[in-house]
């Protein structure tokens, strides 16, 4: 079997295939997403039955693997080689979506659609008005700032409640 990998394209020649003999499939394009999906499925299957203490680490590792494989196929599929200047900032977009979803997996698709809607609107907005694309970046930055401030203030509020409860407990003694 001879395999040639060019970017996100995998071309293969199969020899000595039962019932077919030599099967020449060099002209057939096998999208690497299929190969990556199979590899990911095998990795998840091998990782099943983990102990409870290792589930979080394994989940993050598997998620990182899936994201890396998807990002690699996306970037290498557009060109024949990796171009550092071609990265569109998927990592920062993922952080914004995660912050917007606030630890709720059911909200991730809605947050992703909202951010995608804003990004598409940012591409269309300069064509129809005098407002630049940077305005949407400013709005997303303010959203991130407000969400981070909310998390910070929640922690501060919790510390104040604990401090007041300790003071009240000592006053009762």
Tokens 């995998």 belong to residue: 10
pLDDT at 20: 64
Would you say 100 and 143 are in contact if contact means Cβ atoms under 8 Å apart? Answer: yes
| pLDDT score, position 27 | 42
Task: Give the pLDDT confidence score for residue 70 in this predicted structure.
Answer: 76
Phi then psi for residue 103, to 5 deg, are: 60, 25
**Which candidate, 24, 25, 30, places its Cα nearest to that of 5?**
30
Q: Residue 26 has what pLDDT? A: 47
The helix (run of H) or strand (run of E) holding residue 139 is helix 134-172
pTM over 0.95: no
| Pairwise CA distance, residues 146 & 139, whole Å | 11
Per-residue pLDDT tens listing for the chain (173 residues): 555 555 545 556 566 666 666 655 544 445 555 666 777 777 677 766 656 567 777 777 888 888 787 777 777 776 666 666 666 677 788 888 888 888 888 998 899 999 888 888 888 888 888 888 888 889 888 988 998 888 889 888 999 999 999 999 999 87
Task: Give me 63's structure tokens.
Answer: 């998620």
Secondary structure letter of residue 10 according to DSSP = E
- Report which secondary-structure segment, H or E, holds 113: helix 108-128
**Both tokens assigned to 123:** 């591409």
């Amino acid at each position: 079997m001879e395999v040639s990998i060019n970017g996100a394209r995998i071309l293969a020649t199969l020899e000595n295939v039962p019932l077919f003999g030599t099967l020449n499939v060099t002209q057939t394009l096998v999208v690497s997403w299929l190969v990556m999906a199979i590899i990911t499925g095998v990795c998840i299957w091998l990782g099943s039955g983990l102990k409870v203490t290792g589930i979080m680490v394994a989940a993050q590792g598997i998620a990182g693997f899936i994201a890396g494989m998807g990002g690699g196929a996306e970037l290498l599929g557009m060109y024949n080689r990796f171009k550092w200047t071609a990265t569109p900032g998927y990592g920062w977009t993922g952080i914004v979506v995660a912050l917007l979803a606030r630890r709720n997996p059911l909200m991730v698709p809605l947050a992703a659609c909202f951010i995608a809607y804003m990004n598409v609107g940012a591409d269309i907005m300069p064509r129809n008005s005098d407002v630049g694309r940077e305005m949407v970046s400013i709005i997303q930055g303010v959203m991130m700032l407000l969400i981070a401030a909310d998390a910070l203030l929640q922690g501060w509020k919790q510390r104040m409640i604990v401090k007041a409860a300790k003071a009240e407990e000592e006053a009762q003694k």
